C-alpha cells in the first residue's frame, strides 16, 4: 500500500516547531494590543468573485495561483490567497463602520496559493496582517509601517530595508500606464515572456519583474513619480516626513508596485538583506477604493501583511525559548493507585497546575527518571503504602527531598504547592 504523505507545498508543523510559532504569535499579539489593534478572524474560503473584483482579474494570483473550485452546491469558491479582501468583506457585511469609524484590525492564519514551493514559500502558508480602516491621514500609513518595523525589531531582526513608493491614484496610473506601454513596446521582443503578456493588459506589473534583462530595460522607463497628482505627491511627502520623525530609514524604489490591483498611493515592502532567495518579508500599502469596490461605503484604508514562515526562518536563531516545566509528574503503581492518580490528575488540572500522569511503566525508578526527563518540578508518588495510609509522597526533584502529605491536604493546599513550585523553578533558572 502506498504511503500517505503531505501534499507538495504543504508542511506539518511539529510540536517542537509550534513552540517557536507560539512565541512569535504571543510577541506580535502583545505588541499590537499595545497599539489598540483588535484581532479578527475570517473564513479560509470565500466566494471567488470577492478576489476577482478585489485583487483583480489580470493579476497572477487570480489567473495562476488561486485554489478555486465548485462546492457541492455549485458555488464558485476559493481558498483565501490573501487576507485583506476577506477583512474588507467582513467590515462591510458586519457594518463595522457604524460601531467605530476607525477600525484597527489584525489577523493571522493560513493562506493558499499554487506557487512553486521553495524555502520560505509554501502553497499553504501563514500570514499576519495589519489593517487600518477609516483614515486617509498619512499618519495611518506611517503607523502601519512603524508597527511592521516594530515586529521585526522585537524579534531582534535588524538587517532589513524598507522600500517605499507612491503609485498614485487610478487616474495617475492610467496616464502613466499609457506612457510606460509606449516605451516598452519598442523593446517587446527583448522582454521576458511574462512581461510580453503583461504589456497588453497590465504593463505596470512589468515593473515588478525579476528578469535581469527586463530590469535593465526598465532603467530608462518613465517613472510613476513624474505622473503623480498634487494630492498624491503631498500625501507621499507627508508619509516620508513622518517616517523621518520616527527615525525609520527608507529607500524610494520607483519600480515598487506590489502585485495587487487594489493599492493606491503608498506602497511599501520590507526586505531582508541576509536572504539569498525570498527577500521580501512584509508588503503593504494604501487601498482607499477597495471597500467601495466590494459594495461598501467609500472608506480609506491602509495595511500590510507579513509571511510568517519567512519571518520564522529569520527569527528562529535569535529566539531563546523559555524552559517549559511540568509542575507535577504523577507516578503510580497498582490498580487502586492508578485510580487515585487519575482522580488526582483531574483535581490538579482544575487548579491549573501543569501535570502529566505516567502510563508507561510500573517501575517507580523508571517513572522518576521520566519525571526528570520531562523537567517536572515534583514527582507525586502513589503506591500500595500510600493507598493504605491515605497519603501521597511528593519528591521535589531539584534537591531530591521528599515529604508525605495526606491526600485531602494535598488537594486543598493549593497556595502552599504553588509557592513551593515557584521556589524550585527559581532554583532551576540559575
Binding-site sequence positions for L-histidine: 82-84, 113, 127, 131, 258, 262-263
CB-CB contact of 373 with 357 (8 Å): no
How many Å apart are CA 410 and CA 323, to the nearest integer? 26
Q: Grid coordinates standing for 86?
A: 476577506
Closest by Cα among 89, 77, 83, 82 to 107: 83
Burial class (CB in 10 A: 0-12, 13-18, 19+), 189: exposed
Phi–psi pair at 380, nearest 5 degrees? -90, 115
Angle at 286 (CA atoms; ends 27, 153), nearest 5 degrees: 25
Q: Grid coordinates standing for 243?
A: 517616517
Q: Grid coordinates standing for 253?
A: 524604489
Phi–psi pair at 42, nearest 5 degrees? -120, 165
Q: Which residue has the cell 513552540?
A: 19
Binding residues: 82-84, 113, 127, 131, 258, 262-263
Q: What DSSP character marks residue 12?
A: -
Amino acid at each position: 500500500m502506498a504511503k500517505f504523505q503531505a501534499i507538495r507545498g504543504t508542511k506539518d508543523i511539529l510540536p517542537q516547531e509550534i513552540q517557536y510559532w507560539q512565541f512569535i504569535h504571543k510577541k506580535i499579539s502583545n505588541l499590537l494590543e499595545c497599539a489598540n489593534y483588535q484581532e479578527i478572524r475570517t473564513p479560509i474560503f470565500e466566494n471567488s468573485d470577492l478576489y476577482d473584483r478585489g485583487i483583480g482579474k489580470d493579476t497572477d494570483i487570480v489567473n495562476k495561483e488561486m485554489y478555486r473550485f465548485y462546492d457541492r452546491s455549485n458555488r464558485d469558491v476559493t481558498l483565501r490567497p490573501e487576507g485583506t479582501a476577506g477583512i474588507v468583506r467582513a467590515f462591510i457585511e458586519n457594518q463595522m463602520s457604524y460601531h467605530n469609524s476607525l477600525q484597527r484590525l489584525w489577523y493571522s492564519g493560513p493562506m493558499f496559493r499554487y506557487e512553486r514551493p521553495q524555502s520560505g514559500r509554501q502553497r499553504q502558508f501563514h500570514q499576519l496582517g495589519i489593517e487600518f480602516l477609516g483614515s486617509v491621514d498619512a499618519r495611518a500609513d506611517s503607523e502601519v509601517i512603524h508597527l511592521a518595523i516594530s515586529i521585526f525589531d522585537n524579534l531582534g531582526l535588524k538587517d532589513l530595508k524598507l522600500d517605499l513608493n507612491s503609485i498614485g491614484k487610478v487616474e495617475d496610473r492610467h496616464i502613466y500606464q499609457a506612457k510606460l506601454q509606449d516605451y516598452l513596446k519598442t523593446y517587446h521582443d527583448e522582454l521576458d515572456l511574462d512581461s510580453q503578456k503583461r504589456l497588453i493588459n497590465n504593463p505596470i506589473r512589468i515593473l515588478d519583474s525579476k528578469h535581469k534583462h527586463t530590469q535593465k530595460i526598465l532603467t530608462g522607463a518613465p517613472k510613476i513619480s513624474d505622473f503623480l497628482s498634487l494630492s498624491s505627491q503631498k500625501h507621499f511627502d507627508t508619509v516620508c516626513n513622518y517616517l523621518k520623525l520616527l527615525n525609520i530609514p527608507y529607500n524610494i524604489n520607483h519600480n515598487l508596485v506590489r502585485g495587487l490591483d487594489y493599492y493606491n498611493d503608498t506602497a511599501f515592502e520590507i526586505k531582508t538583506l541576509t536572504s539569498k532567495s525570498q527577500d521580501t518579508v512584509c508588503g503593504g500599502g494604501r487601498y482607499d477604493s477597495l471597500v467601495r469596490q466590494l459594495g461598501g461605503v467609500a472608506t480609506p484604508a491602509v495595511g500590510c501583511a507579513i509571511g510568517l514562515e519567512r519571518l520564522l526562518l529569520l527569527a528562529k536563531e535569535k529566539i531563546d525559548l523559555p524552559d517549559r516545566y511540568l509542575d507535577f509528574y504523577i507516578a503510580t503503581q497498582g490498580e487502586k493507585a492508578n485510580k487515585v492518580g487519575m482522580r488526582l490528575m483531574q483535581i490538579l488540572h482544575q487548579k491549573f497546575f501543569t501535570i502529566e500522569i505516567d502510563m508507561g511503566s510500573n517501575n517507580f525508578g523508571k517513572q522518576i527518571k521520566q519525571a526528570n526527563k520531562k523537567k517536572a518540578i515534583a514527582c507525586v508518588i502513589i503506591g500500595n503504602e500510600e493507598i493504605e495510609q491515605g497519603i501521597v509522597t511528593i519528591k521535589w526533584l531539584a534537591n531530591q527531598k521528599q515529604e508525605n502529605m495526606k491526600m485531602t491536604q494535598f488537594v486543598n493546599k493549593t497556595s502552599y504547592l504553588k509557592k513551593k513550585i515557584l521556589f524550585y523553578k527559581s532554583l532551576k533558572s540559575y
